[in-house]
Chains A and B, each alone.
Chain A
Amino acid sequence: MPKKLVAFAVAVLLLLAIPLNIGASPVSNVPYNTYDYNFYDESIAAPAGYVPAERITAATIGVEGELAQPQDIYYDGKDNVYLLDAGNARVLVLDTNLKLKETIELMAPAKIDMSLFPGLTEEEVIEAVGVGEPTKVTTATGVTVGVDGRMYIADPTGECVHVYNADHSYAYVITRPKTARLGEEMPFNASKVSVDNRNNLYVVAKSGNMGAFVFDGEGNYQRLFGGNSVVQTAEVIMKYMLRPFLTQAQLEGMQSSVPITIANFDVDAEGFMYTTTIVSDETVVPEGVVRKLNYLSQDILEEKLIFGDREWDRQSKQLSIITSFNDVDIDSEGFINLLDKGRGRVFQYAETGELIAVFGGYSEQFGGFGTDPQAIESIGDSVIVVDTTKNCLIRFDPTDYAKQYRSALIRLKRDDFDGSLETWQALLAQNSNNANAYYGIGRVYDMQGDYKTAMEYFKLAGDRGAYSEAFQEYRNLTIKALFIPIISVVAGLLVIYLVYKVIKKKRGKAAVSTVGGSAYSKLESKYSFPLYTLFHPMDGFGQLKPRKIGSLRVAGIILVALFAVFTLQFFATGYIFNENRLSEYSLLIMLMKTVGVALLFVVSNWAVCTLFNGNGNLKEITCVTTYALLPLIFAMVFNVIMSNFLAGSEGAIMNIVLTVCIVWSFLLLLCGLYCIHEYNMTQTFFSVIATVIGMAIIVFLLIMFTSLLQQTWSFIYSIVLELIQR
């Protein structure tokens, strides 16, 4: 047969293997909340992505009786679904419509208790007493099937993996591997199994905390896989130094030292292994809970992806987040389905981290699970959850919304923008809160070179990075377009200025001589004095005391300016650098942050320096403190303006300016205090430290006072309430 024909035949076969569409469900309402996360990590309402479509029981499958604690499900990607009906000691082989094809009884040879026969090998015992009656395997929790048709059954109670041949006959058993990495007391309670496309078997043991055990096609132990790859540098060096002195076994035992408990795994079409990790004692789901591992056990998933729920559960007894993934499934299109044991939910993500749907939950309703959903598998875009408590499977089907969302994301990933604008807009029509749709539309406009529109959409999507890039392009274009006019205007202004200067020079020669420049001219006005101190701090502040040129009014103006500038920064900083949520602005907090802190410093410094023989009075301290803030105020104004013209990568300029000005302000403050208190530099420095401590004490006292006041108030209130209600 020509190669092309073979390929065609394979394609046709594959097409046939794609599950028949089982039919939309008449579910128009769901028992669970359907939500998405906004970019403040708050849950907001969203249309349902997946709806429960069918409850699959023994009756719908076509077997007698009931399912008994179904534990795991495995779809081979072609035409067989293997359902581990553990309590009934069998695996049901189903077609993709989840109808029975055949039943495999799980029988295993009787286990020989070798401790009864000391000194004998297993073969000798078998020869002597025979193999005994095979027994039912009722405690299995994991099933998988290799490319060669071999079926692997994980049995944590039996501490082994049973291997069955393609013809369902018993092949062999995999027991505890002889490796130093598995501690003596640690049981080999194999709970889940998976096979990659090179026919390697991966086994997760419940108490193992160093990753999965890997066995080759013959059941020989190979290595550990998927342990945490993060190893401290010092440890690496230590190991390198010790290496010559260690035995092989010891070396093996040292490989990775950070324990990690893999909960479950799944192998995607390309052979990458996705794992979920059990986390505890975390207030938020950390990064790296879901990993995509290559053959070398390196996580190749995009960094900083957070999966699961993000809102802290105030009422939970523990302080930890409840999300805990006990199964992962990668569907045929590469989407990640995660089964959250904490709240009995399924989260579906794109590989790049976009949340597509959240569905399921614990409830006594169709679409809700019992206490312990164990496994998740996908057939096409349907998701099947194994509900061990309710003894059934629930099939969830995507809604039109989720179907469109998925296909739009696939095309975005492939940079296929042809007609995707319509898809994204259709999505927005159904859910105007979908940030990724705004992003998608932004990308389309970005590709078309319409950067201004793209920026608008990236802003709606809350994606500052993409916005910044589009902004940069837009700015370049604008500058290019305006280059000649701008240059001409600047040149024109320059010419005018020069001409003006020449004229002025000619006319003003006499005037200069009459006034006679004085170095202190700026000191003569209390309004311009602060500007003089900017560049002549010692000189300027030195004059403050003798000439009494400090002004509380000027200080007041500066404080108001400080407050105004902070407010301006909150509202008017360019979008790229402004992560403030406008609704979170609070006048009181802003006042406390600016004027409050400044005044607190003044009061505290006055108190401290009165104690330590400082000569400055309250007015002088106020003047010095406020005048010293000027560089900071200028820097912030400069930054607010610049932030509207700079792209994200250029933000460093603003940081530099701000840092320089803060240092400048601090130096001014030191100089000023030095002058007015007539300290030496060491004294000044320590007085500042004492002032900060003083500030802390004042705040503490204030808090004490308010809480006391509050308690008194609530006491009075409750007495009044008591009197009223009695």
Chain B
Amino acid sequence: MKIIQKHLRVLLCMMLTAALVLSMGGVVSAEETEDTTTIGAADTESNEIVYELVAKNDRLALYADKTDGYFYVENRETGKKWYSTPADIEEDPYTVGLESTNLRSHLVVEYISREREIWADYAQSTNSYTDCVEHGGVTVTVIDNGIRVDYLFPILEIQISVNYVLKDTYLEASLLTDAIKDEGEYAVIAVQLLPVFGAGSWRDTGYLFVPDGSGALIHFNNQRKLAQNYRAPVYGVDKQVVAETKSTSTEAIRLPVFGTVVGDEALMAVIDQAAASAEITAMTGHATCGYNAVSSIFGYRLLTSQYNMYNRRRVNQMVDLDHGTDAYAVRYYPLSGEDADYIGMAGAYRDYLIAEHGFQKRDTTPSFHVDLIGAYETEASFLGIIPYTKKVPLTTYEQAQTILAGLQSAGITKLSAQYTGWNNNGITNVKIPKAATPLSVLGGKKDFAALTAATASSGVTLSTSVDLTSFIKGGNGVSATKHAIRTPFGKTVKQPQYILSNHVTKLGADETMYLSTAKLTDVAARYLESLKKQGLTTVDLTNIAENCYSNYFEDDTAHRTVGIQNVVAALKAYQDAGIKVTVQNANAYALPYVNVVTDVPTVSSGYDIFDEDVPFYQALLHGYVPYTTRSITQTPNPGVTYLTAVESGSQLQYNAIHANSGDLFDTEYNYLYGSTWTLWKDTAAKQYAEYQPLLEKVHDQEIVNHAQVAQNVFVTEYQNGVKVAVNYNAQDVVVEGNTVPAQSFCEWEVIA
């Protein structure tokens, strides 16, 4: 008998080992699944999750486990429960390794040992299940409408506290920055908050939404095992990070919002506090991962590095940050029914912006945007003997009139114009501009006055462009040593240019510095006075809302969460002065203070983990703030860009110079290769004639639906029932009885 038992035991051991090995290798069969489940079951018996009602209101209810802090939010209308960690985790046949404990965690903590600060190449990672729940480190306190959970990681001597509070329409998770205790050997670098809240399982159908570029979807269980998980910083990479090489072009996150859609239910998350310190991350289901989840990571400290020339190594530095707030707060909004998709999320996020940040409806009258380009500076020398800086005109004020009049007579009647390089140093902002004064090389004050008079009488909105954030040299009251942002190592940040072919930095080319936001306030105010003096009521502040950066220069030190406040104040000052502000590709915080957003991408970065791009940013703005595409001739595939503009309800934008762009061949501005206005005039006029009538109908309407109805065929639906089908295929297709011509679009109205 004993022998048999012994044999059985050996056999069992072998089976278990085999199961482990096999499941780690990603090969899973039904039998082995059972085994893994039993192992898991043995663990959970001791700490079974007991959910108790903690708070409730008309729409939502919060249930929590008072030992380990696990919770779920119930949507009382539909009964949908959103679990902080998956409820069916024991049945998960796929997930292996570290991920499986992350699935049981509220926090994933990245930390380094203070002793190894200088040489730590990357932060180590642990989660609240392994190092906290397993050690009984969780303390749950019931507070008003919610719970406070203190997560103590006894081995690492780290404590992190999070409040989970139920509000009218959402659950707010606030990671209390002041309550983070890590005085021991280990220091917290970043905390991933609720990594799997609302996760979709291998059984579910749905998708994750991430706000990369215009927005992107990751379908549940898309099996992209070889693709890296998505992870990108909100508001783009901080400008104080200088890359050694640049090989790919990516889009940035402009909106601090993400979400999960499971069937008819959705959970949208908005980062309410310290969004500029956050990253958004997403993982998808595949052979060794059973769940699909999107969440945010709070960058508590900065771990940065610098190349040390002497010993040819990178040296790290850990920097404590002032996030300008006492909590990193994320709101989770359960949505259901018609709102449970990315367009619904865009609407919900817009409601949030309106309620919390004063986002408002602007004049949305559609127009064709033309970005006029004035002059550029170049080094010249008189017979090679006396060097001097020369301004070369590309579009003078008089020629600008010619272009605008020419476009209007070609049928493009409703026009808006930005005017880049019309003052200061021309296209490249060598120095931060002092005043809004016309350039003599472009025709001087007299011609400029004629231009403004002409635009006023022909109904063209003219916004003169100005760059108040980036510069090449000190001057005009701005000092490169005092006012340019610096890295934590005390080095002035100089963003280089990169060679297109081999991606390394271009030697001898201009390097861009960024103006500290404290100084930006002064500079913006000074320029505003000058604008007023000139009698200008519109301005294009270009990259002010796109460039988001921190400064680590002594007393000026300001993490970008704080820097943003200066930018917002500057924008607000312009609004209050009655100036209509145009900006490029704006980050969320700027949206309430702008009248037009230009250069909005119609695509995402196209990461391998993504399944499709969606016009989320556009759906947010449509009917509220007008927005344009990037300059169409400068995009890699202009014909397709036009179609994406139609699909996303964007207004069209073209670059215009009066000179022959071929003359720029041997200058650093040769990227303007398709900008000569006469060359694109006819195409643009055709597009305008085709597209403007549609925009006239829908410009003040919200986008209420957007879907792919067939391969490469998309339908966008507006509040008033207008539907637009865009067909990217080379053949005509029929959508709801309407023929959509190849590589074109078709609109119709649905009578409700």
Binding site for B on A (CB under 8 A): 21-35, 37-38, 43-48, 51-52, 66, 309-316, 322, 343, 358, 361-368, 370, 389-391, 399-400, 428-433, 438, 460, 567, 570-571, 581, 583, 585-587, 590, 725
- Complex formed: what's the CA distance from A358 to B712 in Å? 25
Closest to A315 in B: B504
**Do the beta carbons of A431 and B640 come within 8 Å of each other?**
no
Residue-wise, chain B 621-638 has the 8 Å CB interface mask toward A (1 for contact) of 000000000000101111
Q: Given A27-B637, A28-B635, A567-B383: A47 and B500 within 8 A (CB)?
A: no
Offer 28 A-B interface pairs, CB within 8 angstroms, sorted by A: A24-B639, A26-B712, A26-B728, A27-B606, A28-B602, A28-B637, A29-B249, A29-B251, A30-B636, A32-B247, A35-B500, A38-B670, A46-B673, A52-B606, A314-B507, A315-B244, A315-B245, A316-B502, A322-B502, A364-B607, A365-B607, A432-B660, A432-B662, A432-B679, A460-B662, A581-B666, A583-B379, A586-B384
- Complex formed: what's the CA distance from A43 to B3 in Å? 77
**Set A24, A52, A314: member contacting B730, Cβ < 8 A:** A24
Closest to B286 in A: A66
Chain A residues with CB under 8 Å of B499's CB are 43, 311
**Set B613, B638, B666, B714: member contacting A430, Cβ < 8 A:** B638
Question: Chain A contact residues: over half helix, strand or loop, or mixed?
Answer: loop
Min CB distance, B19 to chain A, in Å? Answer: 22
**Do the beta carbons of B227 and A364 come within 8 Å of each other?**
yes
B731 close to A (CB within 8 Å): yes
Q: Given A314-B507, A322-B502, A590-B384: A45 and B636 within 8 A (CB)?
A: no
- Complex formed: what's the CA distance from A367 to B636 in Å? 13
**Do the beta carbons of B728 and A31 come within 8 Å of each other?**
no
**Do the beta carbons of A33 and B500 come within 8 Å of each other?**
yes
Min CB distance, A194 to chain B, in Å? Answer: 30
Binding site for A on B (CB under 8 A): 223, 226-228, 244-245, 247-251, 379, 381, 383-385, 387, 490, 499-504, 507, 601-603, 605-608, 610, 613, 633, 635-641, 643-644, 660-662, 664-666, 670-671, 673-674, 676, 679-680, 711-712, 714, 728-731, 743
**Do the beta carbons of A26 and B227 come within 8 Å of each other?**
no
- Complex formed: what's the CA distance from A571 to B385 in Å? 12
Min CB distance, B672 to chain A, in Å? Answer: 8
Chain B residues with CB under 8 Å of A51's CB are 636-637, 640
**Do the beta carbons of B637 and A399 come within 8 Å of each other?**
yes
Q: Given A33-B501, A47-B674, A48-B637: A21 and B730 within 8 A (CB)?
A: yes
12 A-B pairs besides A581-B666, A587-B381 with CB distance below 8 A are: A25-B728, A26-B712, A30-B249, A31-B249, A32-B247, A44-B670, A45-B670, A45-B673, A47-B673, A429-B674, A430-B673, A432-B662
- Complex formed: what's the CA distance from A586 to B387 in Å? 9
**Do the beta carbons of A361 and B247 come within 8 Å of each other?**
yes
**Do the beta carbons of B607 and A24 come within 8 Å of each other?**
no
**Set B383, B507, B635, B664: member contacting A29, Cβ < 8 A:** B635
Closest to A363 in B: B248
Chain A residues with CB under 8 Å of B603's CB are 27-29
* Residue of B249, B633, B676 most packed against chain A (CB within 10 A): B249
**Set B251, B673, B728: member contacting A24, Cβ < 8 A:** B728
Q: Given A28-B641, A29-B603, A431-B673: A570 and B384 within 8 A (CB)?
A: yes
**Do the beta carbons of A31 and B248 come within 8 Å of each other?**
yes
- Complex formed: what's the CA distance from A358 to B503 in Å? 14
Min CB distance, A412 to chain B, in Å? Answer: 19
**Do the beta carbons of B226 and A389 come within 8 Å of each other?**
yes
**Do the beta carbons of B712 and A23 come within 8 Å of each other?**
yes
- Complex formed: what's the CA distance from A389 to B226 in Å? 8
Chain B residues with CB under 8 Å of A35's CB are 500-501
Chain A residues with CB under 8 Å of B639's CB are 24, 399-400
**Do the beta carbons of A31 and B502 come within 8 Å of each other?**
no
**Do the beta carbons of A429 and B385 come within 8 Å of each other?**
no
- Complex formed: what's the CA distance from A583 to B379 in Å? 8
Closest to A563 in B: B385
**Do the beta carbons of B247 and A311 come within 8 Å of each other?**
no
**Do the beta carbons of A29 and B601 come within 8 Å of each other?**
yes
**Do the beta carbons of B245 and A66 come within 8 Å of each other?**
no
Min CB distance, B477 to chain A, in Å? Answer: 21
**Do the beta carbons of A370 and B636 come within 8 Å of each other?**
no
**Do the beta carbons of A45 and B226 come within 8 Å of each other?**
no
**Set B223, B636, B666: member contacting A66, Cβ < 8 A:** B223
- Complex formed: what's the CA distance from A35 to B244 in Å? 20
Q: Given A47-B673, A430-B674: A366 and B640 within 8 A (CB)?
A: no
Chain A residues with CB under 8 Å of B605's CB are 31, 365
* Residue of A363, A367, A432, A460 most packed against chain B (CB within 10 A): A432
